[in-house]
Amino acid sequence: MCQSHPTIPQPPQAKLDHKNGTVTFGQETVESQRIAGHLSLMAKRLARAVQMTNPQTAPVNEARRVELVRYAKEVADKENLRRYVLTMC
């Protein structure tokens, strides 16, 4: 006789619609600005949990984070300049 295993619920699939600025979880659509804070907080808490469970990676991750933030600012500045130039034409 087989033992019955409880079904593990699956998390909802998230779909990003960049054109409309929305995030869809299953059948529910949420405006991106409304959920951005929740996703940001979740990312911070997950990062803290990873650091607590695997602390030796923290210095490497911090150095990588600093590098990525610097690069993102550089790209954003270039993109903003490009968009400014396009609006002037």
Q: 22 CB contacts (<8 Å, ≥6 apart)?
A: 16, 29, 30, 31, 32
- What does the block give as tokens for 8? 């593990």
Within 10 angstroms of residue 23's Cβ, the number of other Cβ atoms is 19
Average pLDDT over all residues of the chain:
76
Beta strands in 27-87 (DSSP E): 28-31
Q: What is the pTM of this model?
A: 0.35
pLDDT category at 21 given cuts 50, 70, 90 is confident
Q: Name the CA dihedral angle for 58, 45, 37, 19, rounded to a multiple of 10 degrees.
A: 70
DSSP string, 57-69: GHHHHHHHHHHHH
pLDDT digit string (tens) for 25-48? 766 666 666 677 777 788 888 888
Q: In 3D, which of 11, 45, 16, 12 has the Cα closest to residue 31?
A: 16
